[in-house]
Amino acid sequence: MTLSRRSFLTIFPLTFAACVGCQRSVDYRDGNAELRQILAHSQSDELEQTLQKVSRVLNLVYAERLLEYLPNWIAFHALLMHGGNAYPNYRDGKTANENLDRIFAVIQRSDTQADRAFILRSGLPYPRQSGPYFMQEHHPDQFLLYFGLAGGTLDAPLTIDDKEYAFQNVLERSLLEARTTSELAFTVSAYAKFLEPGRTWQNKFGETMTLAMLLEKLLDTPERTCYGTHRLGALANVYARKEFLEDRAIARLWSELERQVFEALVMLKQSQRPDGGFELPEMTFGSPTQEHYDIYYTGHSLEWITFLGEDYCRNDWVVRAVDFLAGITSATYRQTYRNVESVQIPNTHFDFGGLSHAVSALKRWHDQVHENRERSAAE
The whole-number average pLDDT for the span 326-345 is: 86
pLDDT class of 174 with cuts at 50, 70, 90: very high
Indicate the pairing of strand 157-160 with strand 109-110.
Answer: parallel
DSSP state of 43: B
Q: Assess whether pLDDT exceeds 70 at residue 22.
A: no
pLDDT class of 18 with cuts at 50, 70, 90: very low
Non-local (6+) Cβ contacts of 365 within 8 A are: 54, 302, 306, 313, 318, 322
pLDDT class of 95 with cuts at 50, 70, 90: confident
CA 197/CA 213 separation, integer angstroms: 13
Q: Which residues of 213-247 are buried (b: 16+ CB within 10 A; e: fewer)?
A: bbbbbbbeeebeebbbbbbbbbbbbbbebeebeeb
Q: Assess whether pLDDT exceeds 80 at residue 15.
A: no
The pLDDT value given to residue 240: 97
Distance from CA of residue 306 to its chain's centroid?
Answer: 9
Single pTM value for the model? 0.88
More confident call, 322 vs 23: 322
pLDDT digits (tens, 9 = 90+) for 26-38: 343 446 888 877 7
pLDDT digits (tens, 9 = 90+) for 225-260: 898 999 999 999 999 999 999 999 999 999 999 999
